[in-house]
Structure formats: structure tokens, C-alpha cells
């Protein structure tokens, strides 16, 4: 069970980018402690930082440029792809796509073989890469997500598509979106969005995304919602949503201190 989060902000949004990312990270910190990372788009490229630790070891060092308007955040409780190999940890890059995932893709090897994909880096085995390989190949077609078998809530940025952030919910994993006039946030839980509201002062219209939905964010708003039919012919052992409670508690307490000092 991992945690994903992120945002798309308009150029008119004056929210502190770093504090917003820290709030999201603190809000999902309890969902995994095997690795942590974040990515932001700065101009044409996506910058990625990740490390093998819980969120508590990264929270103070998150740094997002104030002009960056697209961010992805992840905490990992790994299932496939050992975290000692950095490329297995999230955010994951496959070509022009950088993404994060919560869930388990059971047919990733079949997807790679069917399309002749190569792993982005030697030694990678993480199942999540299949999502972003398909997204790059098909330019984020929702129909392509139907090829995946397993549980999924995911988000990604395609460097070829200036301004866009993609969020998708298949089956078996939650995904929430919170909208305001100039900002849209997303996270694995509604509670994480409440943390964002508290520390940024932005009031959000929160809603859980339906299964089989791809949401396209652009310039701080939900630009499109597209439907797809996720595969349901699989069984997965259910995992508890809270995997690292001490990480969550520490990060929320530390966030309060960081916000007070800002």
C-alpha cells in the first residue's frame, strides 16, 4: 500500500509551492516507509528527487521553486521491485513520462513483452513502469489503461504535454481530488487534502474519483474526465491503509513547526 499525491496550480495561484508539497507528503506519510520521492516540472523538464527512507527523512528538505506549478509526491510500501534499486522507487521515469503509482500491476511483464518495451534502466523490475510505458506509447489514452490487470491509482506528467497532469483510478485503490479556483490537489485520501487546506488556506471541493476514470489537470483546473473499463479479473490480498503510523504522526507534527516558522 503506497501513497500518491500532487497538484496542478495556475499562474495566478500564490500558494507556497514547497509548503503545499510538504503538506501533501505529511498527509500520505503513514502509507509507506520503504522509499519516498517527489517530482516537479520546471520549464520543459521534470525534476525528480527520491530516496530510500520514510517521509520523515525528506520532509524538511523538500524544495519546490515558486514558479513550478505541477508536482507529484509518493511514499512507497513496496511489493515488486526492491527499493535498494533506486530506479524501482517513485517517481518513475519511462521516456518522456514521469509517474507515481499506488497498487499492484500483475501483468507488467506481459505488457512489456507484447509491446517490445525496454526497461528504462538496467535492473528495474517494478511493476508500475508498465503504466507509464503505455502512457508514453499512447499519449495517455484511457483505453490503454484497460490493458493493465491489477490495482491502480496513479498520476503522471508527460514532458511532451506542457501544462498537463494526468490522474487515473482503476480498481482497488482510492484517489481523491480537491478543486479550487486556481488550484487542484489530489491524494490517496481525503484526509491528506484536509491537511493541504489547513496549511495553505485554500478551500477545496473534495470528491473521491470513481473507478475507471482518467482526470486531466491543466493550469490548476480539471480540464477533462475520461472513462475506461479497468480489468477486474484478479484477486489481491488486501493490505491495511496505514503502514507506517509513526511516519505520519512525526510528519504532521513537524509540518506544524515548519509552517509556523515560514
Contact 197, 187 (CB under 8 A): no
pLDDT digits (tens, 9 = 90+) for 27-81: 999 999 999 999 999 877 999 999 999 999 999 999 999 999 999 999 999 889 9
Position 44 scores a pLDDT of 78
pLDDT digits (tens, 9 = 90+) for 91-123: 999 999 999 999 999 999 999 999 999 999 999
Q: How far apart are the first and last CA of the chain?
A: 32
Position 136 scores a pLDDT of 97
Closest CA to 102 of 75, 133, 130: 75
pLDDT digits (tens, 9 = 90+) for 156-180: 999 999 889 999 999 999 999 999 9
pLDDT digits (tens, 9 = 90+) for 213-231: 999 999 999 999 999 999 9
Residue 93 in 3-state DSSP? Answer: strand
Residue 190 in 3-state DSSP? Answer: helix
Closest CA to 185 of 211, 205, 170, 213: 205
Task: Name the burial class of residue 219, with classes exposed (0-12), middle (13-18) and buried (19+) by CB atoms within 10 angstroms of its CB.
Answer: middle
State the total domains in the chain: 1
By percentage, how much of the chain surpasses pLDDT 70? 99
CA distance 239 to 172: 10
Give the CATH number of the domain where residue 240 resides: 3.60.20.10
Instruction: Give residue 175's domain range.
Output: 3-261
Position 192 scores a pLDDT of 98
Position 234 scores a pLDDT of 79
Q: Count the residues in the chain.
A: 262
Amino acid at each position: 500500500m503506497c501513497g500518491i499525491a500532487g497538484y496542478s496550480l495556475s499562474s495566478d495561484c500564490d500558494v507556497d509551492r514547497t509548503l503545499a508539497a510538504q503538506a501533501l507528503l505529511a498527509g500520505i506519510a503513514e502509507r509507506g516507509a520503504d522509499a519516498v520521492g517527489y517530482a516537479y516540472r520546471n520549464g520543459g523538464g521534470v525534476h525528480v528527487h527520491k530516496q530510500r527512507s520514510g517521509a520523515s527523512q525528506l520532509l524538511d528538505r523538500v524544495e519546490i521553486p515558486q514558479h513550478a506549478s505541477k508536482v507529484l509526491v509518493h511514499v512507497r510500501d513496496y511489493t515488486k521491485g526492491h527499493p535498494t534499486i533506486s530506479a524501482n522507487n517513485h517517481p518513475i521515469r519511462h521516456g518522456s513520462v514521469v509517474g507515481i503509482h499506488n497498487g499492484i500491476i500483475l501483468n507488467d511483464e506481459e505488457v512489456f513483452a507484447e509491446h517490445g518495451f525496454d526497461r528504462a534502466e538496467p535492473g528495474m523490475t517494478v511493476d508500475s513502469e508498465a503504466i507509464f510505458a503505455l502512457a508514453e506509447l499512447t499519449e495517455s489514452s484511457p483505453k490503454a489503461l484497460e490493458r493493465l490487470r491489477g490495482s491502480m491509482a496513479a498520476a503522471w506528467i508527460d514532458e511532451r504535454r506542457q501544462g498537463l497532469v494526468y490522474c487515473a483510478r482503476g480498481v482497488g485503490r482510492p484517489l481523491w481530488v480537491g478543486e479550487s479556483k486556481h488550484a487542484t490537489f489530489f491524494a490517496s485520501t481525503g484526509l491528506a487534502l484536509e491537511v493541504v487546506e489547513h496549511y495553505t488556506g485554500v478551500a477545496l471541493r473534495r470528491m473521491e474519483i470513481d473507478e475507471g476514470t482518467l482526470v486531466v489537470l491543466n493550469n490548476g483546473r480539471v480540464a477533462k474526465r475520461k472513462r475506461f473499463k479497468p480489468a477486474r479479473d484478479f484477486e489481491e490480498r488486501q493490505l491495511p491503509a496505514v503502514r507506517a503510523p509513526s511516519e505520519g504522526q512525526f510528519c504532521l507534527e513537524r509540518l506544524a513547526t515548519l509552517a509556523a516558522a515560514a
